[in-house]
Amino acid sequence: HDWLAQFLWHAHLPMGAGTALMIAAAVLIVACPCAMGLATPAAIMAGANAAARRGILIRDGVALEKAGQVTAVIFDKTGTLTIGKPEVAEIWQSSAGVSPVNNVENQTAAGGTPALLLAASLARNSTHPISQAIAKITAEKIEFPDWKEIRGSGVEANIEHPTSNIQHPIGKARLGSLRWLKESGVDLAAGEKFIAEWSNQGATIVGLASENKLLGLFAVRDAMKTNARQVVEQLQRQGLKTYLVTGDNSLTAASIARQVGIAAENIFAEVRPEQKAEFVKKLQAQGERVAFVGDGINDAPALTQADLGIAVSRASDLAREAADIILLKSEIEAVPEALGLARATLRTIKQNLFWAFFYNALGVPLAAMGFISPIFCAAAMGVSDLIVIGNALRLLRWRK
């Protein structure tokens, strides 16, 4: 007690206005919530600065708070888990008894078959990465005045007059997903073996049809990002559930999921762009706090619906606008880093609030009873501010 007493102001009974004024001043000074006011903004600024140094742009403090509460992460496939530069790996043609084309380069060098010319011409005006891959098959083209793109399905056009290049029956030509072709009445039985073989290898299968006749199939393969599996494993070690959403068929989706380590029951396959947001809602209804990772225009609704939207590098402008976190220079390896940093920031905020409250809770009673002087109260408040700011600055040295 004697040791502590030397740091305290000797208590005085209220014997006059002077003593009362000193005690009142001490209480007012020590009750100042300056440290409590600094606790949250200091941590948020430090956390956002630490993220920016890593090429992670966090839109605001609310986004940082939401990132720290995430329990599940949904990955889009194309351009997120894959590099986003698909190429045609193999072609199958069903008309006139043509056998599968195993060497795409040799086929296109020879000018291509009518089916390949039709497919490339249909794909040429689409900006979708898969369409652009098919458009490269041949440089020749056919003009379609009524060409139309159906979001999440494919492209179609009417061929009303035969040309010297096209020998197939004339009608409505379609190039797109197998689901869409099947819904349009196209029989896919002839290409089932090709579909199964390449779907199991993780390729996206695109079909070409004229009316209800299947003309050809294209196995389009996009290389996986080398660190995709590592990212998924890091998230799972953080206790987060991981999901895959893709417009590909279930076989292709299962192959991709196996490569990156996502459980089979966490796959959403054959999903239209507008349905991605519905799957986010489905998880949210189960009590999950969902982060959606995507890069395309079609991902914008899901990025908005998710508790936390994350747009990877090279994302479309619409996806960036809808996202809460934008990975400026990094690829998806920054996702676990961003979520880990957000959790560290929330912990720092709680620590700062504890210390700020601790100083006030301890100092106010002592000042009210006259045990500490106004000068000591001012010094204590300054120290509390330093502790809060110093604790927040530790985030700049955070490592995952």
Q: Residue 264: how many CB atoms within 10 A of its CB? A: 11
Helix (H) or strand (E) holding 173: strand 172-177
Local structure of residue 149 (DSSP, 8 states): E
Sheet containing strand 290-294, edge to edge, reads 56-58, 325-327, 308-311, 290-294, 72-76, 241-245, 267-268
Local structure of residue 224 (DSSP, 8 states): B
Q: Are 43 and 349 in contact (CB under 8 A)?
A: yes
> Residue 212's closest CA among 183, 235, 177, 232?
183
Instruction: State both tokens at 209.
Output: 């049809």
Find the DSSP H helices in the chain: 2-5, 17-30, 34-53, 61-67, 104-109, 114-123, 129-135, 178-183, 192-199, 228-237, 250-260, 276-285, 300-305, 317-322, 334-368, 374-393
Q: Which residues are catalytic?
A: 76
**One-letter identity of residue 84:** G
